[in-house]
Amino acid sequence: AHGAAPPPGLNRRFLRGESEKAGRRHETTFEGRRFVIGTGGLGAEELRSLELEQSRHKDLLLLPELRDSYENLTAKVLATYVWLDLHLDFQFALKADDDTFVRLDVLVEELRAKEPRRLYWGFFSGRGRVKSGGKWKESAWVLCDYYLPYALGGGYVISADLVHYLRLSRDYLNMWQSEDVSLGVWLAPIDVKRVHDPRFDTEYKSRGCNNKYIVTHKQSIEDMLEKHQTLAKEGKLCKEEVKLRLSYMYDWGVPPSQCCQRKDGIP
């Protein structure tokens, strides 16, 4: 599910094409693919355009009770999980933004080898200081002086049983400003398998291009097209590997504030 603001039609067309090609290569389908759009406040012409697109592709999830905005993103993601649990038969849910490039071929193969229970898979942070200003400001945060460990929101995977848990718990869940921080809190007290994977390049800015990456955030449509073409021609993600910043492995054996020491040699 793509949970950012309504992507331009070009983004959706590109992402549809990518998932369909990956499906053909791996003899699977992505019928559960949904572009999630809050339609509250949209004009009649915009609504008609979305309804026409939905009649053609049947892959939009339109949420009329929500206006698409950052402050509504947590509610939007939770509403998406509620809808998925009620309407689709699936084992895993990938949440990604519309500026995220995903190696669906690699993701599918890896998920086939994973047990579809209690999985929370992404690039985790445990030392994020609570934001006191800007669009990420958390006025109601009273839990501690750091965010609880969470998988960064550019892209992460949770198993279907956790989606079911969220649906059943939704009336009791607090909504914080950031959806990824909120999910980390919602799953904090339960027995889940947190898998930190540096192949998820999902921070607020990309760490560069590495052929091992499965999920790459903060990509323009030009970046995505280049990656797609390089994969098609050369069988690898990057024309040339580039490192813009260091990565880290999450150390689950120390307090969260000490979790994440950036080092060379990590994707």
Q: In sequence order, what are the beta bridge partners of 243?
A: 208
The arithmetic mean of pLDDT across residues 103-123, rounded, is 96
Least trusted range by pLDDT, from 23-27, 135-139, 144-148, 154-158: 23-27
Binning pLDDT at 50, 70 and 90, where does residue 139 land? Answer: confident
- What φ, ψ does residue 184 adopt, rounded to 5°? -60, -40
Rg of the chain (C-alpha set): 18
Mean pLDDT of the residues in the chain: 92
Q: In this predicted structure, what is the pLDDT of residue 240?
A: 97
Q: In this predicted structure, what is the pLDDT of residue 30?
A: 62
Q: In this predicted structure, what is the pLDDT of residue 4?
A: 46
3-state secondary structure the chain: CECCCCCCHHHHHHHHHHHHHHHHHCCCCCCCCCEEEEECCCCHHHHHHHHHHHHHHCCEEEECCCECCHHHHHHHHHHHHHHHHHHCCCCEEEEECCCCEECHHHHHHHHHCCCCCCEEEECEECCCECCCCHHHCCCCCCCCCECCCEECCCEEEEEHHHHHHHHHHHHHCCCCCCHHHHHHHHHCCCCCEEEECCCEECCCCCCEECCCCCEECCCCHHHHHHHHHHHHHHCCCCCCCEECCCECCCCCCCCHHHCCCCECCCC
pLDDT tens digits, 231-259: 999 999 999 999 999 999 999 999 999 99
Binning pLDDT at 50, 70 and 90, where does residue 6 land? Answer: very low
- Model-level pTM? 0.90
The arithmetic mean of pLDDT across residues 125-129, rounded, is 96
Q: In this predicted structure, what is the pLDDT of residue 115?
A: 94
pLDDT tens digits, 198-229: 999 999 999 999 999 999 999 999 999 999 99
Q: In this predicted structure, what is the pLDDT of residue 7?
A: 47
Q: In this predicted structure, what is the pLDDT of residue 15?
A: 72
pLDDT tens digits, 144-187: 999 999 999 999 999 999 999 999 999 999 999 999 999 999 99
Binning pLDDT at 50, 70 and 90, where does residue 9 land? Answer: low
62 to each of 1, 77, 97, 151, 265, how far by Cα in Å?
A: 12, 12, 16, 25, 43
pLDDT higher than 70, residue 47: yes
The arithmetic mean of pLDDT across residues 65-91, rounded, is 96
Distance from C-alpha of 26 to C-alpha of 29, rounded to nearest angstrom: 8
| Under 8 Å between Cβ of 185 and 148 | yes
